[in-house]
A and B are shown apart, each in its own frame.
Chain A
Amino acid sequence: MFVEIVTPEGTLISKEVDGVVLPTIEGETGVLPGHIPLITKIQRGELKLQEGTNVDLIAVDTGYAEVIGDRVAILTEGAVDIEDVDLGSIQAAQQRATEALEEAKTSDLDPAEIEQLETRLQFLMTQKLIKETSR
């Protein structure tokens, strides 16, 4: 089955896999070839891509997933391959995000933009959590 993960920054993954585990808002949903068509909301968490015996972990932000035919499309605000995540840089990014958020709250920024910063911070925390548990 073909899987693609797309974020506003571009396409992160687009390849053939054997199976996908989606972090939907109702819990984890495993998708194998021949799955019924499905559209679901996904929540911040870890998405698993199975290729043979190898499992890739991807941290995803909130979004939607669509399963149709032998295709899984994941539309999310942000996605990162956990292997590319480095705890040190996450910590630094988290620091920056927290500061930016503090600053934004004192100035009169657009509420939508503040929300975006909050989302970003939460997503960073998710990445950190997955990275730590996957070791």
Chain B
Amino acid sequence: MSKIAHIKRRIKSVKNTRQITRAMQLVAASKMKRAQDRALASRDYSLLLARMLHVAISHTSEINHPLMTERSVKKRGILLISSDKGLCGAMNANLFRSVAEIEGEADFVSVGRKGKQFLSRADKNLVADFTVSDKVGYGEVRPVIEFLIKSYMDGEIDTVEVLFPRFVNTMVQEPVTVRILPLLNLEEEIDKLKVKGEENTLDETEDDREIKYEPDVETILRDLPELFIKQEVYQFFLSAKASEHSARMVAMKSATDNASSLVDDLTLKFNKARQAAITQEILEIAAATASNK
């Protein structure tokens, strides 16, 4: 009897867990939808901005801009975008594996509680930690970018790279590292922004005449790179957020499924035990009657 009661209790507790994971799955699904829409809406803008800057760089013979000059890399600057909360499958773990593969001296800036914990545990050089809420407001992201640009300009770091879980589709998020500073060749960035299978938008620039700038090259190239970096990093944040929610949704979906199959198994076990108990009882009664005759 106690075995039956025990199984019953387990069924109840697994069902409770399932209820929670299902609720989390639904919440993540609706948040994912919103995050995806936002990431997609501003993707065109980021892509065009990248293309514009690419055209400007490749059609201008002499560029003298501090953000666009290469220098020898002594120390890399890496911005790690992770999530604040766990329960999102292997997303953060995959991200941290990429961190472990980073070679050479590097300063880290982290956004997301999980990333901060990992970096301090892994004894990496964590120079700053920022918090960005679930809404990913531009006002929250701006200080992060400005901090990075300042560190770069001050010479504390010689590159600015962003490591984040790139949203490919609902099932797939891949950790990627994109170098945003110095700005030299944008093809890589453009590739990162594009969804696979999209045609290459760089090809049609067969016009090789020198570009004219209005009012002049200094005015344009003073603001454009900075606008580009801000928009790009913001786009990475949106992508990371969409990844987080989809990873969580998928993880919670499989947790719910696992709980369901566990409930099925336990119910079978429970029925078997119940049947065994009844059979046992009948046997006992039959034996008792037989011996009484």
Residues of A within 8 A of B (CB): 4, 6-11, 24-26, 29, 36-41, 64, 66, 68-69, 71, 73, 75, 109-110, 112-113, 116
Contacts and interface: CB of A to CB of B under 8 A. Distances in A.
Interface in B200-224: 204-207, 209-215, 219-220, 224
B111 interface: no
Interface of B: 41-42, 44-45, 48-49, 51-52, 55-56, 59, 137-139, 142, 204-207, 209-215, 219-220, 224, 231
Given A39-B211, A39-B213, A112-B138, A75 B45 contact: yes
Contacts of A36: 209, 212
Nearest to B60: A39
A26 to B, nearest CB: 6
Nearest to A116: B138
A118 B69 CA distance: 35
Which are the 6 A-B pairs with shortest beta-carbon distances? Answer: A40-B214, A110-B139, A69-B207, A37-B211, A6-B48, A8-B42
Given A10-B44, A68-B211, 13 more contacts: A6-B44, A8-B45, A24-B214, A26-B214, A29-B214, A39-B55, A40-B213, A40-B214, A40-B220, A64-B220, A68-B205, A69-B206, A113-B137
B234 to A, nearest CB: 9
Contact of A112 (B52, B59, B142, B205): B142
Contacts of B59: 37, 68
Contacts of B205: 68-69
B42 A39 contact: no
Contacts of B215: 25-26, 40-41
B142 A41 contact: no
B219 to A, nearest CB: 7
Contact of B52 (A26, A69, A75, A116): A75
Contacts of A29: 214
A69 B49 contact: no
Contacts of A69: 204-207
Nearest to A27: B214
A76 to B, nearest CB: 9
B212 A73 contact: no
Given A10-B44, A75-B45, A39 B52 contact: yes
Nearest to A4: B48
A11 B45 CA distance: 8
A7 to B, nearest CB: 6
B45 A6 contact: yes
A109 B231 CA distance: 21
Contacts of B231: 8
Given A39-B213, A41-B215, A110-B139, A9 B51 contact: no
A37 B42 contact: no
A70 B59 CA distance: 16
Given A66-B55, A113-B139, A41 B214 contact: yes
Nearest to B217: A39
B44 A11 contact: yes
Contacts of A66: 52, 55-56
A33 to B, nearest CB: 12
B210 A64 contact: no
